[in-house]
Amino acid sequence: MPVAYAENSVVLYGIVDSGYGYEQFRHQGHQATYSGLNDGYLKSSRWGVKGSEDLGRGLKAIFHLEQGFSLKTGTQKNHYAFSRKAILGLQSDTWGTLTAGRQKTLGSDFLSIDTTKGMGKSKYAFGASGVRTDKLVKYLTPNWNGFSAGLGYATNGNVVRDKSTGLERPVDRDYLATAGVRYTNGPLTLAGVYDWQHANKSDGHRQRYTVRNWALAASYQFDRLKLNVAYGQDHHGKLKSPGYLSSSTFGSHTVTGFGDYNNEGFKSRNTMVSVAMPVGPGELGLSWTRSSSNLSDVYADNNPGKSLATQTQNIYAAMYTYKLSTRTTLYGYGSYGTGLAYIDKLKGGQAGFGINHRF
Average pLDDT, the chain: 90
Percent of the chain predicted with pLDDT > 90: 72
What does the angle CA 98 – CA 104 – CA 109 come to, to the nearest 5 degrees? 75
The answer as to whether 51 is a domain residue is: no
pLDDT digits (tens, 9 = 90+) for 108-125: 899 999 999 999 999 999
Q: Domain count of the chain?
A: 1
pLDDT score, position 259 = 82
What is d(CA 228, CA 87) in angstroms, rounded to the nearest whole number? 30
CATH of residue 235: 2.40.160.10
pLDDT of residue 204: 44
Residue 335 covered by a domain:
yes
Q: Give the range among 84-88, 164-168, 314-318, 328-332 with minimum mean pLDDT.
A: 164-168
> What b-and-e string marks burial along 200-231, b requiring 16 or more CB atoms within 10 Å of the CB?
ebeeeeeeebebbbbbebbbeeeeeebbbebe
Looking at the domain assignment, is residue 255 inside a domain?
Answer: yes
Within-domain flag for 42: no
Residue 21 domain flag: no
User: Residue 326: its pLDDT value, please?
Assistant: 96
Is residue 217 included in any domain, yes or no? Answer: yes
Determine, yes or no, domain membership for 32.
no
User: Can you give the residue range of the structural domain that contains 332?
Assistant: 102-358
Looking at residue 57, its amino acid is R
Residue 340, classified by CB atoms within 10 Å of its CB into exposed (0-12), middle (13-18) or buried (19+), is buried
60 belongs to a structural domain = no
Spatial neighbors of 183 by CB under 8 A, at least 6 apart, are 146, 147, 148, 189, 190, 191
Structure confidence at residue 123 (pLDDT): 93
pLDDT grade, residue 239 (50/70/90)?
A: confident
HSE of 340 in the Cβ direction (CA atoms, 13 Å)?
25
Decide if pLDDT at 163 tops 80: no
Please check whether residue 234 is in contact with residue 266, taking contact to mean a CB–CB distance below 8 angstroms: yes
State residue 148's pLDDT score.
97
| Each residue's pLDDT tens digit, 142-158 | 999 999 999 999 987 65
Pairing of strands 253-254, 267-279: unpaired
